[in-house]
Structure 1
Amino acid sequence: MKLNIKYTGKILLIALVALGTGCKKFLAEQDPSNLSPDTYYTIPEHGEAGVAAAYAQTRFIGNGAGIFVANFSMLEMVTGTARTETGQNSDLNNLLGLSFNGENLLVRNWWAGLYNVIAQTNQVTDKVPGISPMDETRKAQIIGEAKFLRAWAYFYLVRLYGDVPLVTVPQTINSPDFYPTRTSTELIYKQIVDDLTAAEAAGLPWKVTSGTASKGAVKSLLAKVYLTMAGQPLNKGAAYYKLAADKSLEVINNGSFKLFDSYGDLHNIKKENDVEHIFEIQYLATVAANPMQQLLLPNFKDVSAYSDEVGSTVPTTEFYESFEPGDLRTKDREGFFYTSYYTGGNGALKQLNAPYIYKHFDSLAHGTFEVKGTTQSDLNWPQIRYAEVLLIYAEAQNRADGAPNAEAYAAVNKIRKRALLTELSGLGQTAFEEAVWRERWHELCYEGITWFDMVRLRKVYNVKTQGFDNFVGHKFPASQATVLAEKHLLFPLPTVEVKNNPNLRPQNPGY
């Protein structure tokens, strides 16, 4: 089931963020050219529209970043698990070679996109409380959804850039903190936890299939935040591992979510926002089509109804080969990868001689055997899956209690059982922890998660040894000249932002 933001978000975003023409049924007696947040948020429908626009803003992750690239690629190029088959985009190449700086367009787009989400949610949390009359239950839910999205945005920002400006009220050019300074990482995390705790108590349903935030999504994100706070850079340790374990266990015990039986259901449009998908970025071709499909295809190998097959972000062979023998996730066109596909998307099967990402593959758009593709993708982009919640619990419980319990084994073994792998048993704390980390690298690959695991753990999966190297000094397998350094634990602040606001200085170390 699709959320109505796919239809309304794009329109309402214009009204609420760009302050252009509005929805006539909401504003029949007002001059659309004179809209402002103060005059707009006057009836309940405006609150619904405001939060819908915030959801729509999350789609910046799939927006373009120059020729043949979208923003999502930034989080994959710096992990050593991805490569590119196109060399035209220098920003992408610089990320792949770890030679990027604050001029990089993707670095700039992530900053701007996340702060756009924050700007819209700040409008909602500031203006919706004053709408009257309005059903108080729904009002609380809308504010809770907005706080969830604000926390989601700040969680990305603090992990990407470290100390960042904390802005929680609408801004104008006359605002006293229009040129804000950077807020400590500790205080940013406090705001994230405060927002999620408020959202948790906002009366949201445990599960929804419309694409909006649910209580299950709030608790899952909070578990993820606690796990991150337990690690670097805050290093809060056992107490926060315990918080992460307890919160993820709430999601597990509630029973609203479960793993899909088939990996194919991960990219089955009929099963979006349901079962294993706890929260996703919403797409609908008639309003905002999924723009990542062409970018993930092999570079012009004629395997799709799309005419442009880019190969912008594809797996490294070394990472693909690091999966255990027999792992169903590597099975061609059944797991997370494909090594063959149909000519033109619907013709004879052809071998590709390299692995490509099947986890996000929209077969309706590309085509299947004897069925021509539509070249229009409605496929959502995952943000939180139940598989991740299981792995959060397994890792956090083991660290909090000093050894894995039966529930931790059960959690990780559900992942392994689906992959047709031998279940884990009899491991000590360290061996179990590293086994869970390996599952995270393999199960959560190409979902924008691996980089943040590298940073919080200060470890990187070594695809050759199957062990874990220290972050600083790790060499990417595809290029031994590409070496992670201390400065790579954070991205640089965008140069244009630092120029426009000197209060953001100094730049992150090493840039």
Structure 2
Amino acid sequence: MKFNLKKYKAGILLLILTASASSCKKYLDEERRDNFNTGNYFTSASQARTFVNGIYANLYMFQNGDAYGESPFITLELFAGHATTLGQSVNNKQVINQTTSPTNPGFQTVWSNSYAAIANANVALKRIPDIAMPDADKKKLLGEVYFMRAFFYYHLVRLYGDVPLITEPVTITSETLYPERSPIASVYDLIVSDLKAAKESGLPATDQTGRVSLGAVRTLLGSVYLTMAGYPLQKTENYALAAAEVLPVLTQYTLFDNYAYLHDNAHKNQGELIFQINYLVGVKENAIPQLIIPFNLQVGAYNDKLGAMIPTTQFVASYPAGDKRAKEREFYFNSYPKDKDPNTILQFGGPALYKFFHVESALGNGKSDENWTLFRLPEAQLIYAEAQNEADGAPNATAIAALEAIRHRAELPPLGALSQTAFREEVWRQRYHELAYEDKAYFDIQRTHKIFVVPGGTFAEATTTPNEQGVTMKAQYYLWPIPQREINTNPKLKQNPGWQ
């Protein structure tokens, strides 16, 4: 059965994110403004707010896809090698087997949506400073824009390497209408500069409405510094910067005491959830549950069950004995009652991702509005632990406590004293186990050039060690190819090595 994802795509240019007085998240559709005149449009604070809210809509690219579940959030995980697909997608299977090409639609989705967001961010940064509105409100608004531009450039530079660096609004006569690729280091310079500007904009420490907060800025900047310390830049002095950046975040958020809160409706944008992509039934829905349910099993009130992203049995078995996350209906599940027939238990024949299962829509009308998490506290804790250990040559008490908090919630025993190397690998291991299938693993492979080897739970060179599916990573797969459509359109763009 084909799945029509068109009904999940935004049919709007702008989406408004607002919070009511009771801090209840509310999303409102905004009319199309494809041809608005910026000279007339940027005249009030409300117009500026609406325009900035529209930039958030490009975050939905991660769950965009076609009839076979070829969503970027899945493509990223398939590149990491710990997931397979039971569905009909040829492109997904080619990614798993490393036989894909620059025509893979996911590459174009990420590229075009990222540059659409960046284009709107550039317009906002150019026009909002001239609007008459309270300075504090204006600074916060610009802080959100700086964060968003940095966020999208961060994905572009990690995925494609050298990319066009566009910082001004582009018109039909602009020299940057057909831009060349800029060096990776220059792109990172802009990302860091933007995030430093966002830090100084007066954003609140935390936010429960779906907007950018200082905690989100610091976590993103910490991730940026950690990445810059690894491949390809190897600026190891940035380990200390990463640790210092995320340290305040560790005390501003609280770990949930129930893993179910990671994917239910009641705890959106709360607790350990630092920054999420927000959804709401009737306004913007998604197909996340359908994509992770085993193919065609009657689990939940969904029209389609695609099996597009299924964890490998070997990866789930790599969790240590007693790890709560590997127990039934924590991060994974192997069975579930049949829809409309709760006395019949369907056996999957292997694990599926309960971590992304949405009980509300499964038991309801099949319309999912679960949020997708971009940053949460455990990632900040692991950024700090890894960065501090590398910067100082050994873990300090704060780094140990951060790591142990994650392990303690998983009901694992204390580690005891560890060397720098052993601590580093335990942090990496927790990144794989705690942040599993949250689109972090492929980026970890890029920056460390190591893969997580299962069974065994060790780490080895990415391009010489086969994963549990028997595939050895090709060096070209450290980067995505420039989408073929972009190459065809812009003769100044040159393809990444190995993808010609």
TM-score range, shorter chain: over 0.9
**Structure 2 match to 1:351:** 347
Is the contact made by 1:409 and 1:425 (CA closer than 8 Å) also made in structure 2?
no
The aligned runs of 1:330-409 (5 Å cut-off) are: 330-333=326-329, 335-344=330-339, 347-348=342-343, 349-367=345-363, 373-409=364-400
Q: Structure 2 vs 1, CA of residues 404 and 346 (structure 1 numbering), >3 Å: closer, same or farther?
A: farther
**Structure 1 match to 2:98:** 98
The alignment status of 1:118 with 2:137, answered yes or no, reads no
The aligned runs of 1:206-225 (5 Å cut-off) are: 206-225=205-224
The alignment status of 1:496 with 2:482, answered yes or no, reads no
User: What's the CA shift string for 1:417-438, capped at 9, x where partnerless?
Assistant: 0000012221101011001100
Aligned partners of 2:218, 2:261: CA distance in 1, in Å?
23
2:355 is paired with a residue whose SS is coil
One-letter amino acid matched to 1:11:
E
Q: Structure 2 vs 1, CA of residues 246 and 112 (structure 1 numbering), >3 Å: closer, same or farther?
A: same
**Structure 2 length normalisation: TM-score?**
0.93
User: What's the CA shift string for 1:155-188, capped at 9, x where partnerless?
Assistant: 0000000000011111111112111110100000
Report the Cα offset of residue 196 of structure 1: 0.3
**Structure 2 match to 1:26:** none
One-letter amino acid matched to 2:334:
T
Aligned partners of 1:67, 1:354: CA distance in 2, in Å?
21
Is the contact made by 1:7 and 1:287 (CA closer than 8 Å) also made in structure 2?
no
Is the contact made by 1:337 and 1:355 (CA closer than 8 Å) also made in structure 2?
yes
The alignment status of 1:247 with 2:240, answered yes or no, reads no
**Structure 2 match to 1:68:** 69
Aligned partners of 2:340, 2:43: CA distance in 1, in Å?
50
Runs (4 or more) in structure 1 with deviation over 4 Å come to 5-10
User: What's the CA shift string for 1:181-231, capped at 9, x where partnerless?
Assistant: 101000000000000000000000001100000011101111110000011
Q: Structure 2 vs 1, CA of residues 381 and 345 (structure 1 numbering), >3 Å: closer, same or farther?
A: farther
One-letter amino acid matched to 1:483:
T
Is the contact made by 2:482 and 2:495 (CA closer than 8 Å) also made in structure 1?
no
Q: CA RMSD in A?
A: 1.5
Is the contact made by 1:345 and 1:366 (CA closer than 8 Å) also made in structure 2?
no
Q: Please list every run of 5 or more consecutive structure 2 residues that lacks an aligned counterpart in the other structure.
A: 1-15, 20-24
The alignment status of 1:81 with 2:82, answered yes or no, reads yes
Q: Structure 2 vs 1, CA of residues 283 and 508 (structure 1 numbering), >3 Å: closer, same or farther?
A: farther
Aligned partners of 2:162, 2:365: CA distance in 1, in Å?
44
**Structure 2 match to 1:462:** 453
**Structure 1 match to 2:128:** 128
Is the contact made by 1:162 and 1:185 (CA closer than 8 Å) also made in structure 2?
yes
User: What's the CA shift string for 1:63-105, capped at 9, x where partnerless?
Assistant: 113433322111011111110001x222111111111121111
Report the Cα offset of residue 358 of structure 1: 1.1
One-letter amino acid matched to 1:337:
Y
Report the Cα offset of residue 57 of structure 1: 1.5
2:215 is paired with a residue whose SS is helix
Aligned partners of 2:27, 2:492: CA distance in 1, in Å?
37
Q: Structure 2 vs 1, CA of residues 488 and 55 (structure 1 numbering), >3 Å: closer, same or farther?
A: same
The aligned runs of 1:323-334 (5 Å cut-off) are: 323-333=319-329
Report the Cα offset of residue 262 of structure 1: 0.8
One-letter amino acid matched to 1:68:
G
Range with bigger deviation, 352-361 or 213-222: 352-361
Is the contact made by 1:65 and 1:109 (CA closer than 8 Å) also made in structure 2?
no
User: What's the CA shift string for 1:414-461, capped at 9, x where partnerless?
Assistant: 000000001222110101100110000000011111100011000000
One-letter amino acid matched to 2:53:
A
Aligned partners of 1:292, 1:130: CA distance in 2, in Å?
41
Q: Please list every run of 5 or more consecutive structure 1 residues that lacks an aligned counterpart in the other structure.
A: 20-34, 368-372
Q: Structure 2 vs 1, CA of residues 330 and 499 (structure 1 numbering), >3 Å: closer, same or farther?
A: same
Q: Structure 2 vs 1, CA of residues 299 and 177 (structure 1 numbering), >3 Å: closer, same or farther?
A: same
One-letter amino acid matched to 1:420:
E
**Structure 1 match to 2:53:** 52
One-letter amino acid matched to 1:452:
F
1:432 is paired with a residue whose SS is helix
Is the contact made by 1:70 and 1:292 (CA closer than 8 Å) also made in structure 2?
no
**Structure 1 match to 2:3:** none
1:504 is paired with a residue whose SS is coil
Aligned partners of 2:326, 2:68: CA distance in 1, in Å?
30
Aligned partners of 2:293, 2:30: CA distance in 1, in Å?
30
Report the Cα offset of residue 7 of structure 1: 5.9
Number of paired residues? 479
Q: Structure 2 vs 1, CA of residues 93 and 10 (structure 1 numbering), >3 Å: closer, same or farther?
A: farther
User: What's the CA shift string for 1:284-342, capped at 9, x where partnerless?
Assistant: 12111022221111111111111211101111111011100111001111x21111111
**Structure 2 match to 1:142:** 141
1:269 is paired with a residue whose SS is coil
1:78 is paired with a residue whose SS is helix
Identity of aligned residues (%): 38
**Structure 2 match to 1:268:** 264
**Structure 1 length normalisation: TM-score?**
0.91
Is the contact made by 1:220 and 1:247 (CA closer than 8 Å) also made in structure 2?
yes
1:279 is paired with a residue whose SS is strand
**Structure 2 match to 1:27:** none
Is the contact made by 1:10 and 1:53 (CA closer than 8 Å) also made in structure 2?
no
2:492 is paired with a residue whose SS is helix
Is the contact made by 2:70 and 2:91 (CA closer than 8 Å) also made in structure 1?
no
Aligned partners of 1:68, 1:194: CA distance in 2, in Å?
36
Report the Cα offset of residue 241 of structure 1: 0.5
Aligned partners of 2:45, 2:460: CA distance in 1, in Å?
53
**Structure 2 match to 1:29:** none
Aligned partners of 1:327, 1:91: CA distance in 2, in Å?
34
